[in-house]
Amino acid sequence: MTPSQLKPTAVPTLRQTARMIKHIKDTFERELAKELNLTRVSAPLFVETASGLNDGLSGVERPVEFVLGDSQANCQVVQSLAKWKRMTLWRYGFDAHEGLYTDMNAIRRDEVLGPLHSIYVDQWDWERIILPGERTLETLKETVRAIYRAFKATEASLDIESLLPEEILFMTSQELEDKFPHLSPKEREHAQLRECGALFLIGIGHPLQSGKPHDGRASDYDDWDLNGDILVYHAPGECALELSSMGVRVDREALLRQEELKGHPHDLSLHYYQGILNNEFPLTIGGGIGQSRMCMYFLQKRHIGEVQSSYWPQDMRDACREQGIILL
């Protein structure tokens, strides 16, 4: 597809938007796999509840659950594949510096609907094996830079004005709190992104000096000292837009430490946890990258419903129509 075929009119038609969405997704997926040496695999839409493989997110979100036919097996629609990916790398026999990625589709029933948030989640979930000596901040930063190169390559394939700065800024959540002590965490992100355009915010989950974490993170997959979010400035919404949450995954020591800090919320006798505690599963780095969020950013859409089909209450649909926002 040529750039002229991608270039939108002043107000793109739904068909033009659909064509551009496909181009963005195809291009980024290819660039991501190349940058991180990833193989595409098939992923589940649901997992058995007793497996413990579903992502607990910040610990308060309720997964969608159902009983599977005559088997009476209790299942949950996935919220992300953070745990499943690590076990799959082990099952499939991947080696160091190899990884996988997949299309992940999820339902997050407790999401507060708005311009940036939908109950339907579509993201690339990816995971890559690293060596023991690579569980470092530099490995995290190198991986972020690789993903950012994939963002830049995708942007370059579009006939649009450049949105991304040449380099992404790295900052810890404590540094951000110190810089904007009187703002809320989200307000800090907005303020910083207005200055820099693209930010990787390091260290999500641990309490800051204020006594509260920048944001919630489950205790059983990311190492809170070696994780973070990729954020960009979204001009139509005049706000920070999170494109990715990622991190070096917990080893035995980090898992036990974070479980204790959280009050031991998980059953560590389950296979996933035993695989980590017994050093059976590989050490990894991984994360999720929002597909609709990325399309929203590059196409400068004001509402995520302009790039994905989801549920929106009628009053929101009416309000969007009055503002000239066409929801899919």
Q: Report how far residue 204's alpha carbon sits from residue 57's, in angstroms, rounded to the nearest whole number.
A: 12
Residue 78 in 3-state DSSP? coil
Q: 76, 118, 245, 291: which one is catalytic?
A: 245
3-state secondary structure 132-158: HHHCCHHHHHHHHHHHHHHHHHHHHCC
Query: Is 70 considered catalytic here?
Result: no
Query: Is 108 considered catalytic here?
Result: yes
Q: 29, 76, 79, 108: which one is catalytic?
A: 108
Query: Is 229 considered catalytic here?
Result: yes
Candidates 94, 59, 100, 52; CA nearest to 76 is 52
Query: Is 215 considered catalytic here?
Result: no
**Concatenated DSSP letters for 235-285?**
GGGTEEEEEEEEEEEP-HHHHHHHHHHTT--S-TTSHHHHHHHTT-SPPEE
Candidates 261, 217, 226; CA nearest to 138 is 226
Q: 48, 177, 242, 251: which one is catalytic?
A: 242
Q: Please list the residues that pair with 126 across neighbouring strands.
A: 101, 287
Q: 125, 155, 189, 229: which one is catalytic?
A: 229
Query: Is 55 considered catalytic here?
Result: yes
Query: Is 315 considered catalytic here?
Result: no
Q: Report how far residue 131's alpha carbon sits from residue 83's, in angstroms, rounded to the nearest whole number.
A: 18
Q: Report how far residue 281's alpha carbon sits from residue 88's, in angstroms, rounded to the nearest whole number.
A: 9
**Concatenated DSSP letters for 159-184?**
SS---S-SS-EEEEHHHHHHHSTTS-
Would you tell me how many other CB atoms lie within 10 Å of the CB of residue 161? 7
Q: Please list the residues that pair with 249 across neighbouring strands.
A: 222
Q: Report how far residue 306's alpha carbon sits from residue 300's, in angstroms, rounded to the nearest whole number.
A: 10
Q: 55, 122, 222, 223: which one is catalytic?
A: 55
Q: Report how far residue 325's alpha carbon sits from residue 114's, in angstroms, rounded to the nearest whole number.
A: 13
Residues labelled as active-site residues: 55, 108, 123, 229, 242, 245
